[in-house]
Amino acid sequence: MLKGLAITPPVLGRISIGKVVEKNGKRLPEKDDQFTLTSQVQSRDGWLLHPLNEELRNGQDGKLRSIPIRLLFNEPDLNFRADYSLFDRNTGRPLCVGNGETCKRLTKDGIQSLPCPSPDGCSLAQGNACKPYGRLNVVIGDDDPLGSFVFRTTGYNSIRTLAARLHYLQAISGNRLACLPLELRLRGKSTRQSHGTPIFYVDITVRSGLILEDALLEAKQREQTRQASGFDQSALDIAARQGFKNGAFEDSEEDTGAIVEEFFPVIEDQPGLVAHQVQLTAPAKPSLAQKLDSQATRHTSKPTV
């Protein structure tokens, strides 16, 4: 295995709730109120749709707001990885990844492990350059049990909800997370910051038409069937964890350009950034000693009569 290269789950396509559009000569992210499944092929007009995108829309009135899924791993943190991430917005290269306690940062001396104060306390995070960034891998359909679709997000609501749901579902299922019949679901809410405009985030629930108890029974039966066939879920989780640890940064440089464009855009006239620049460039107030010296100079320089 190549050292320094993170081995991540094979990806068949993307799940998004928005897209990048061109406005006034600039490419900017635009939110949506539905899921879109795309392939990994991008044209000048955007990502090409995956065949499952149209198939899953049937029966949902044209708006794809729920997707039946399964998970690859029993360990929540393998299915969904979230951390504070900083990218170079010019090159798209990942520069720093941290968890609020420690981080791996690319420096002139190579990758170093350093304390991570979180974006609020980090000088490198000025201008919303560093923020929470999550990646969720899910299985859609039965064609490829080890192939996944990836959902990326920098939204607090999605990150908080997905992390909580996965840990809760793992607990109540007796560590059978990979066997549960689940569903990605799009939810909306309004906040004071959104000024009443709905914002959308992603949740995970048991699949539509099933109550929780039925889903738990199905997971137990699926686990027994897998074990009888020789499927070793524990070994799969171990292999995945080793693969993630093999590299400092999960996203490859060939993907990070599109990631930065969609999730880490440069926001002009940002109050926080402007205030920071003003603070750095504002002249310092004169000290008391400087005021006295200046006053004495003015008095001595006056002509005598």
Mean pLDDT check: name the lowest of 51-65, 78-92, 97-111, 265-279: 265-279
| Unique residue bearing structure tokens 């990605």 | 184
Beta strand extents in the chain (DSSP E only): 11-23, 26-43, 46-49, 66-69, 80-87, 94-98, 102-107, 110-115, 130-138, 148-153, 182-189, 199-206
- Contact (Cβ atoms closer than 8 angstroms) between residue 273 and residue 37: no
| Domain membership flag for residue 305 | no
pLDDT tens for each residue of 32-66? 889 999 999 988 778 899 999 999 998 788 789 99
Of all residues in the chain, the percent with pLDDT exceeding 70 is 84
| Domain membership flag for residue 301 | no
Residue 171: is its pLDDT beyond 90? yes
pLDDT tens for each residue of 231-276? 999 999 999 999 999 988 888 777 887 888 878 877 654 444 333 3
| Domain membership flag for residue 232 | yes
Helical segments of 143-270, H only: 156-172, 212-229, 233-245, 253-263
At residue 55, the pLDDT reads 92
| Domain membership flag for residue 295 | no
At residue 214, the pLDDT reads 98
- Contact (Cβ atoms closer than 8 angstroms) between residue 132 and residue 64: no
Higher pLDDT: 127 or 33? It is 33
Mean pLDDT check: name the lowest of 124-133, 153-162, 208-217: 124-133
| Domain membership flag for residue 1 | no
Mean pLDDT check: name the lowest of 142-151, 156-165, 186-195, 272-281: 272-281
| Domain membership flag for residue 54 | yes
DSSP code at position 268: T
At residue 281, the pLDDT reads 32
Containing domain of residue 179, as a range? Answer: 11-288
Pairing mode, strands 11-23 and 148-153: parallel
Burial class (CB in 10 A: 0-12, 13-18, 19+), 260: buried
| Domain membership flag for residue 98 | yes
Region for 249 from its dihedrals, namely left if φ exceeds 0, alpha if ψ lies in -120 to 50, beta otherwise: beta
At residue 270, the pLDDT reads 44
| Domain membership flag for residue 118 | yes
Residue 80: is its pLDDT beyond 70? yes
Q: What is the mean pLDDT of residues 102-110?
A: 91
At residue 81, the pLDDT reads 97
What domain count does the chain have?
A: 1
Neighbours of 45 (CB within 10 A): 7
CA 73 → CA 22, 77, 102, 142, distances in Å? Answer: 38, 9, 25, 16
At residue 14, the pLDDT reads 95
Q: What is the mean pLDDT of residues 270-287?
A: 38
Higher pLDDT: 199 or 277? It is 199
Mean pLDDT check: name the lowest of 88-92, 146-150, 185-189: 88-92
At residue 212, the pLDDT reads 97
* pLDDT confidence band for 220 (50 / 70 / 90): very high
